[in-house]
Amino acid sequence: MKGLHTIAIVTFLVFSIEALLHYNLGKQKAERKEIAGVGSFMSNFELPPAKEMVYTLLIVGMFASITEFTIKGLKR
């Protein structure tokens, strides 16, 4: 994967998963659902509406790119 923006891709994937987890934590808290454990949390897991998902992924992608440029700049 060398030369294919590896840092940005990995960062994007990791933080996209984190964003989805945070979305679900907030949604469950707003709905006052009791989170009894990982099984309970994952059984109520859902994706955000399409428009919200696109905005979230665009923001994560922007920061993944910034992270890559920063790391590559620090290596110089």
Delimit the domains of the chain by residue range. 6-75
pLDDT (tens digit per residue) in 42-73: 777 889 999 999 999 999 999 999 999 998 88
pLDDT at position 40: 67
pLDDT at position 35: 66
Q: How far apart are CA 62 and CA 76, in angstroms?
A: 22
User: Quick check: 41 pLDDT over 80?
Assistant: no
3-state secondary structure of 62: helix
User: Quick check: 1 pLDDT over 60?
Assistant: no
Count other Cβ atoms within 10 Å, centred on residue 33: 13
User: Quick check: 8 pLDDT over 60?
Assistant: yes
Work out the burial of residue 52: count CB atoms within 10 Å of its CB; fewer than 13 is exposed, 13-18 middle, 19 or more buried.
Answer: exposed
Alpha helices in 31-49 (DSSP H): 38-43
